[in-house]
């Protein structure tokens, strides 16, 4: 069983050397720091992956919009919405006691 090209016995030897060189009292602090570093690396890589995925989706949408044919000019005129003015309030839509002449 190997992990990153290191067998179990090589890993065990590295752990023993680290304990002898650094001492057992410093190991918890080193492991805590290592855990923080790994957590930050995972967060940064997931943010980078999400950012790249958003950029790819946005680029695909732009390319699709560029390749989409524009509607013919006569079709564009048919879909144009005519401008209208808002209706004048009637007596029924005004609050009680007010008339259309009160607003002027």
Secondary structure letter of residue 94 according to DSSP: S
* pLDDT, average across residues 9-33: 87
- Domain regions of the chain by residue span: 25-69
Predicted local distance difference test score (pLDDT) of residue 12: 87
Instruction: Note the pTM of the prediction, 2 decimals.
Output: 0.46
**Cα–Cα distance measured from residue 2 to residue 11, given in angstroms and rounded to the nearest whole number:** 9
| Rg, C-alpha atoms of the chain | 35
Q: How many residues does the chain have?
A: 104
At 37, the pLDDT band (50, 70, 90 cuts) reads very high
The vertex-44 CA angle with 32 and 47, nearest 5°, equals 140
- 11-15, 63-67, 72-76: which range is least confident on average? 72-76
């Amino acid at each position: 069983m190997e992990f990153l090209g290191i067998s179990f016995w090589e890993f065990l030897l590295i752990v023993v050397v680290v304990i002898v060189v650094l001492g057992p009292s410093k190991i918890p602090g080193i492991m805590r720091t290592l855990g923080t570093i790994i957590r930050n690396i995972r967060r940064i890589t997931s943010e980078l992956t999400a950012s790249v995925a958003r950029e790819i989706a946005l680029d695909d949408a732009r390319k699709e919009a560029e390749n989409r044919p524009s509607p013919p000019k006569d079709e564009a005129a048919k879909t144009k919405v005519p401008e209208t003015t808002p209706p004048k309030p009637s007596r029924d839509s005004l609050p009680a006691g007010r008339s259309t002449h009160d607003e002027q």
